[in-house]
Structure 1
């Protein structure tokens, strides 16, 4: 499906403040970026760089006063995500070098503390894809999706204990449970067509049978038509805006529509 998507961020800036944005998706597996338009008001210099995970980052200093950023894009997306029941576990010694980092505990994903829970969840599932799917299904059925029950400090351990959260929390828990079983897992943020209510979305990917597969514990069934914006170890790596000053986000608008 061809999608028209984007977001707008409006800020009030009391004094000039450095800002790093991560808003530009790249073409890749399951998506082709046909066109994009990036608007910043007022117009100021921007430097772009690529971070350790291949994400495009825009670095700037927001001027005093009202400041806005808007990106809109057209992307061709896959209508379905790949699923592979029975796909095998990859032994750690056979993992690619750049995948090893996604086995380690990280700020929001304390995989070293969730091993017993992971073992209980997977039961006798075949090592690999089936174990990850058991984790995804357990989170979807045992964790309540509820706004206002978590914040920027909430970790996977917190979510496992409270059994509530939002998409970011679901992803952190899934990542942590996978890593505790020596299955590499990473955080993904982006757009999902027909997400209700519409917002930027988070899910996770797990590495089995030599490639990454998409898992979304907020959805009952596999859903395609996603636009990935960024990858990382957890939310600390994929913040769409990181500010270094006393600026206030006053409004945020997100849209994903079918492009006719």
Structure 2
């Protein structure tokens, strides 16, 4: 499916404030960027770099006063995500070098403290994909999704204890429980079509049978039509905005809509357009 997705962020900078933005998705597995638009008001100098995880990042300095960022894109997405019940565990000694660090504890994912819970959840489960699915299902059934119950300091340990949170917290817990079993897991942020309530979203991927698979503990069933913006060890690596100074976020809008109507309208216009032989200038075009 083709999706139109984007966000608008409105800030108030109290002093000139450096920012690192992470809002641009890139074409890759399961998605193709057809069109994108990026507007920053007021206009400032922007430089872009690719971080160690392959994410596109933009550096700006916001001047004092109102500062807004608008991003939108049309993206061809996969309608389904791959599932592989029974896919085997990949032994640590066989992991690629660039995957190995996803087995380690990180700031919000204290996997070294969650081994007992991970073992309890996955007992009598075959190592590999089935363990990760057992973890995803357990989180979905045992952690309550509720806004306003966590903040930027909430970790996987907190969520395991309080049994409440939002997508970021579900994701951190899933990652931690996988890593406790020596299964590499990473955080993914982006957009999900028909997410309710609509917002920027987070889920996780686990590495089994020599590849990454998608898992989303906030959803009852596997769902496609996702737009990935960034990958990382946890939320510290994938913040959409990182500010280095006093700055207030006043408003945030997020949207994900089907682009099918736009496609149908374009096709209709193409059908109604004059043919080459009757178009103005067509004779010269044909001759030359």
TM-score class, shorter-chain normalisation, is: over 0.9
After superposition, the C-alpha distances for 1:10-56 in whole angstroms (9 at most, x for unaligned) are: 01112110000000001111111111000001111001000010000
| Partner residue, 1:11 | 11
Secondary structure in structure 2 of the residue aligned to 1:161: helix
Q: Note the residue ranges of structure 1 that are not aligned, 5 or more in a row.
A: none
After superposition, the C-alpha distances for 1:209-247 in whole angstroms (9 at most, x for unaligned) are: 110000000000000000000000000000000000101
Secondary structure in structure 1 of the residue aligned to 2:23: strand
Secondary structure in structure 2 of the residue aligned to 1:186: strand
Secondary structure in structure 2 of the residue aligned to 1:37: strand
| Partner residue, 2:277 | none
| Partner residue, 1:130 | 130
| Partner residue, 1:177 | 177
Structure 2: distance between partners of 1:13 and 1:206: 38
| Partner residue, 1:139 | 139
Q: Which has the higher helix share?
A: 2
| Partner residue, 1:97 | 97
1:73 to partner: Cα distance: 0.1
Please tell me the root mean square deviation across aligned C-alpha atoms, in Å. Answer: 0.4
| Partner residue, 2:34 | 34
TM-score, scaled relative to structure 1 = 0.99
Structure 2: distance between partners of 1:110 and 1:13: 34
1:118 to partner: Cα distance: 0.3
Structure 1: distance between partners of 2:254 and 2:213: 25
| Partner residue, 1:225 | 225
After superposition, the C-alpha distances for 1:65-123 in whole angstroms (9 at most, x for unaligned) are: 11100000000000011000000000000000000010000000000000000000001
Structure 1: distance between partners of 2:78 and 2:151: 32
Secondary structure in structure 1 of the residue aligned to 2:83: coil
Structure 2: distance between partners of 1:45 and 1:97: 36
1:64 to partner: Cα distance: 1.0
List aligned pairs for 1:58-69, cutoff 5 A.
58-69=58-69
List aligned pairs for 1:48-87, cutoff 5 A.
48-87=48-87
Secondary structure in structure 1 of the residue aligned to 2:151: coil
Aligned length: 260
| Partner residue, 2:45 | 45
1:148 to partner: Cα distance: 1.1
Structure 2: distance between partners of 1:15 and 1:120: 50
Structure 2: distance between partners of 1:134 and 1:105: 20
Q: Which has the higher strand share?
A: 1
TM-score, scaled relative to structure 2 = 0.90
List aligned pairs for 1:176-215, cutoff 5 A.
176-215=176-215
| Partner residue, 1:258 | 258
Structure 1: distance between partners of 2:101 and 2:93: 13
After superposition, the C-alpha distances for 1:152-184 in whole angstroms (9 at most, x for unaligned) are: 000000000000000000000000000000000
Structure 2: distance between partners of 1:153 and 1:227: 26
Q: Note the residue ranges of structure 2 that are not aligned, 5 or more in a row.
A: 261-288
1:208 to partner: Cα distance: 0.3
Q: Which runs of 4+ in 1 moved over 2 A?
A: none
Secondary structure in structure 2 of the residue aligned to 1:61: strand
